[in-house]
Structure 1
């Protein structure tokens, strides 16, 4: 295992502890100007999010309506009512974004797919970097906020749904994540610099509770005047 990744995993509570749990439940809220570009009104309400730690699965309830629940896996996303009747679904959902540019509007199922993989990625970082098939390489350090951040270039396998196959993860001197860079493939490949902060310790594992995603220039610098998305997490529980 990469030496930097091992130090990161230890700083977050350790891979063994992570593997001792099968589910993580949190409350999450989000907003930001990105949603308007997709024709989606901002909704700052809190949703109940459950993910699996061992496989890419996300559930959110309520979703769009008080009696609706969304479930996501990489090859299917569905919205059901409380009687388990399907309100809508997409099979092979990534294909539904074919030809979609940066300002193309999304429907409810497009948003559900995005929410599903994004929240799973955020909540399983950095442990997902130790999964089979994930390629991790340390690259040149980055200087920001008066610190030297060590950087892992990550190549995700096709079996994992995420913003882009290639991403960069920046870690501070305490080995906690500071920033995550990616291209938003579902939205014309837009460049994003995504910052995390305000960590809490839950059952021996560390999680950031605040995320802010900004447009990123070709020089790697974030445009702080373009806050695309913010995310808040609270009420973590592992089981």
Structure 2
């Protein structure tokens, strides 16, 4: 692992402690312009998410109503009843986004794929930096909000489903995440600047509870007058 990657992981609680858990569950309140743009306003405004920390899997419940939940993995996404009965499924889900732009509407299964992929990435970060095949290297620092943030460029292997193969983390002097950049490949490679803050400590792991995502301009600056996604977390449980 890159030295900065190790510093970031240590600042968030350390790899040994993280590997003692198998799942993370949190209550989410979500907003922003994306959901209505995609024709899915309100479906996941108030929900719970559970992400697996050993394999790529996530589930949102409720999914639009209390009797449904989602099941996301890279090769298949499902909608299930609360008891786990299969209601609908989409194999090879990423292929269904071929030709999409930011404005292209999603169906419910595509929403379940995006939400699962995104939250699995967010809630496993920065510990994903230690996964096999994940490459990282430090790049030039960045000045923002009156601070200088160190930056780590990441490249994910093809078997990890995430926003884009290449992403960038920004961290403060303590090694805590401040910002996370990526391009949303399934939405026309739309560039995003994702800010995290309001950390809490859960069983020795530092977790940000406030997330705000804005468009990112070619010079790296965010367009802060357009809130694409907001996510507020509470009731975080590691098991």
Using the size of structure 1 for normalisation, the TM-score is 0.97
Corresponding position: 1:195 with 2:195? yes
Secondary structure, in 3 states, of the residue corresponding to 1:123?
Answer: helix
Conserved 8 A contact 1:30-1:43: no
Conserved 8 A contact 1:31-1:43: no
Q: 1:25-104 residue pairs with structure 2 within 5 A?
A: 25-43=25-43, 45-104=45-104
Conserved 8 A contact 2:56-2:73: yes
Q: Which position in structure 2 is the counterpart of 1:113? A: 113
Q: How many residues align?
A: 239
CA shift, 1:43, in A, is 4.9
Q: Which position in structure 1 is the counterpart of 2:127? A: 127
Superposed CA RMSD: 1.1
Q: Which position in structure 1 is the counterpart of 2:146? A: 146
Secondary structure, in 3 states, of the residue corresponding to 1:225?
Answer: coil
Secondary structure, in 3 states, of the residue corresponding to 1:222?
Answer: coil
The structure-2 alpha-carbon separation of the partners of 1:41 and 1:167, relative to structure 1 and needing over 3 Å to count, comes to same
Following the alignment from structure 2 to structure 1, what is the Cα–Cα distance between the partners of residues 82 and 228?
Answer: 32
Following the alignment from structure 1 to structure 2, what is the Cα–Cα distance between the partners of residues 42 and 68?
Answer: 14
Q: Which position in structure 1 is the counterpart of 2:228? A: 228
Following the alignment from structure 2 to structure 1, what is the Cα–Cα distance between the partners of residues 82 and 157?
Answer: 34
Which 5+ residue runs of structure 1 have no aligned equivalent?
none
Q: Which position in structure 2 is the counterpart of 1:172? A: 172
Following the alignment from structure 1 to structure 2, what is the Cα–Cα distance between the partners of residues 79 and 142?
Answer: 41
Deviates more, 1:30-39 or 1:132-141: 30-39
Conserved 8 A contact 1:197-1:208: yes
Which 5+ residue runs of structure 2 have no aligned equivalent?
none
Following the alignment from structure 1 to structure 2, what is the Cα–Cα distance between the partners of residues 25 and 39?
Answer: 26
Using the size of structure 2 for normalisation, the TM-score is 0.97
Q: Could you report, residue by residue, the CA deviation over 1:211-233 in whole angstroms, capped at 9, with x for unpaired residues? A: 00001111100011111000011
Conserved 8 A contact 2:44-2:64: no
Following the alignment from structure 1 to structure 2, what is the Cα–Cα distance between the partners of residues 85 and 207?
Answer: 32
CA shift, 1:45, in A, is 4.1
Following the alignment from structure 1 to structure 2, what is the Cα–Cα distance between the partners of residues 101 and 45?
Answer: 23
Following the alignment from structure 1 to structure 2, what is the Cα–Cα distance between the partners of residues 84 and 43?
Answer: 19
Following the alignment from structure 1 to structure 2, what is the Cα–Cα distance between the partners of residues 68 and 42?
Answer: 14
CA shift, 1:44, in A, is 6.6
CA shift, 1:66, in A, is 1.3
Q: Which position in structure 1 is the counterpart of 2:16? A: 16
CA shift, 1:121, in A, is 0.6
Following the alignment from structure 1 to structure 2, what is the Cα–Cα distance between the partners of residues 25 and 84?
Answer: 18
Structure 1 residue ranges, 4+ long, deviating more than 6 angstroms after superposition: none
